[in-house]
């Protein structure tokens, strides 16, 4: 599946905006990504295995919040970071 990486996390992927990964669940995909791009998973998931509050993950066009979310090989995964500031 294709995983779309936001610009703030591209330093982990060699500046690539899209990477390929496989897995049956969101947790598996993030583990595969972390194996290929060390440190990426920690920026997305907390020590308690929860998606960080400022991260949104979409599978195709649907937002998901559980790492157990089932995925298919043709899904598009989008990682989005919330913007903040004043």
| Mean pLDDT, range 32-58, rounded to an integer | 96
What would the pLDDT profile of 15-34 be if each residue is shown by its tens digit?
999 999 999 999 999 999 99
Nearest to 33 by CA among 20, 45, 43, 14: 20
CA angle at residue 67 from 63 to 69, to 5 degrees?
Answer: 60
What residue spans define the domains of the chain? 2-81
Which residue is it, tokens 């899904």?
A: 75
- The per-residue pLDDT for 85 is 61
83 confidence band (pLDDT: 50, 70, 90): confident
63: left (phi over 0), alpha (psi -120 to 50) or beta: beta
- The per-residue pLDDT for 17 is 98
82 confidence band (pLDDT: 50, 70, 90): confident
Q: Which CATH superfamily is domain 2-81 in?
A: Beta-grasp domain (3.10.20.30)
């Amino acid at each position: 599946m294709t995983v779309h990486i936001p610009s703030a996390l591209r330093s982990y992927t060699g500046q690539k905006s899209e990477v390929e990964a496989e897995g049956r669940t969101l947790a598996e995909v993030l583990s595969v990504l972390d194996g290929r791009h060390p440190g990426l998973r920690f920026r997305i998931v907390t020590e308690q295995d929860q998606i960080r509050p400022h991260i949104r993950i979409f599978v195709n066009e649907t937002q998901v919040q559980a790492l157990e979310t089932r995925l298919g090989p043709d899904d598009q995964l989008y990682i989005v970071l919330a913007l903040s500031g004043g």
